[in-house]
């Protein structure tokens, strides 16, 4: 099903699919669309997948259940929030979101954990966000280093607050005027060594105590080789040219 381009005010819940009735649609939002949340507006994928390219989303919770997917390419998100919904589970990284060439501002997600949500985000920009912590639920972050649904790669973070546990899922990212902080959850125990490396442009760390077996290194942005990290200016034309 393809939804024509337009400006939509979402004032109540939009539920996609019906697992009980085995309805599992693919919803395509046409380029040039703007969806804005209001009142109790939100989008929930109960069964199926949603694909959007060159669209803009504002103040809209975007929720997804187990084995369902959001796919976003060249989209912008202003004060939106991603999260797991529903009662279905099946192993780790139950509900999945893919982003490529997107701009995410002001908000991103509720606190994350390894069971509920998986993200694959690349070549995108995060701006002015207090990023959520990532709980590994007694599992080892080192075991997920090559997991394709737990990866934020080649992204730029601008004026964000970044918990160490969130930094663990980033790869070859630049942090511009950001602040790294420790995690409040003291129950996590890391028995396998994991090296966290970030590329810095005017950022600082307020982490006072590092967990055992976690190394954290900040390197200058100029030392990042073999990757072009996007900026707001480089991504905006692709998002707005529908």
Instruction: Please state, as a whole number, how many other Cβ atoms lie within 10 Å of the Cβ of residue 16.
Output: 21
CA distance 242 to 226: 30
In this predicted structure, the answer to whether residue 67 has a pLDDT above a threshold of 80 is yes
The pTM of the full predicted model, rounded to 2 decimals, is: 0.95
Residue among 92, 91, 75, 94 at smallest CA distance from 83: 94
pLDDT in tens, 78-115: 999 999 988 777 778 999 999 999 999 999 998 999 99
Domain, as residue range, for 20: 2-240
Q: Are 230 and 236 in contact (CB under 8 A)?
A: no
The count of structural domains within the chain is 1
CA distance 103 to 35: 15
* 3-state secondary structure (DSSP) of residue 221: helix
pLDDT in tens, 206-231: 999 999 999 999 999 999 999 999 99
């Amino acid at each position: 099903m393809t939804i024509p381009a337009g400006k939509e005010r979402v004032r109540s819940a939009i539920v996609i699919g019906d697992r009980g009735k085995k309805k599992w649609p693919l919803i395509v939002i046409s380029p040039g669309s703007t969806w804005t949340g209001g009142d109790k507006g939100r989008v929930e994928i109960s069964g199926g997948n949603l694909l959007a390219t060159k669209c803009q989303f504002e103040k809209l919770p975007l929720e997804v259940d187990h084995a369902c997917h959001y796919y976003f390419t060249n989209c912008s998100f202003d004060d939106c929030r991603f999260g797991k919904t529903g009662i279905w589970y099946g192993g780790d990284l139950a509900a999945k979101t893919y982003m490529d060439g997107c701009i995410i501002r002001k908000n991103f997600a509720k606190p994350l954990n390894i069971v509920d949500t998986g993200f694959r985000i690349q070549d995108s920009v995060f701006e002015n966000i207090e990023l959520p912590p990532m709980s590994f639920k007694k599992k080892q972050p080192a075991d997920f280093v090559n997991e394709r649904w737990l990866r934020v790669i080649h992204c730029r973070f601008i004026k964000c607050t970044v918990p160490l546990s969130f930094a663990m899922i980033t790869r070859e990212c630049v942090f511009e005027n950001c602040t790294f902080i420790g995690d409040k959850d003291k129950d996590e125990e890391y028995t396998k060594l994991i090296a966290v490396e970030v590329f810095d442009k005017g950022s600082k760390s307020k982490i006072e105590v590092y967990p055992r077996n976690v190394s954290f290194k900040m390197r200058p942005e100029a030392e990042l080789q073999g990757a072009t990290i996007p900026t707001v200016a480089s991504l905006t034309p692709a998002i707005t040219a529908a």
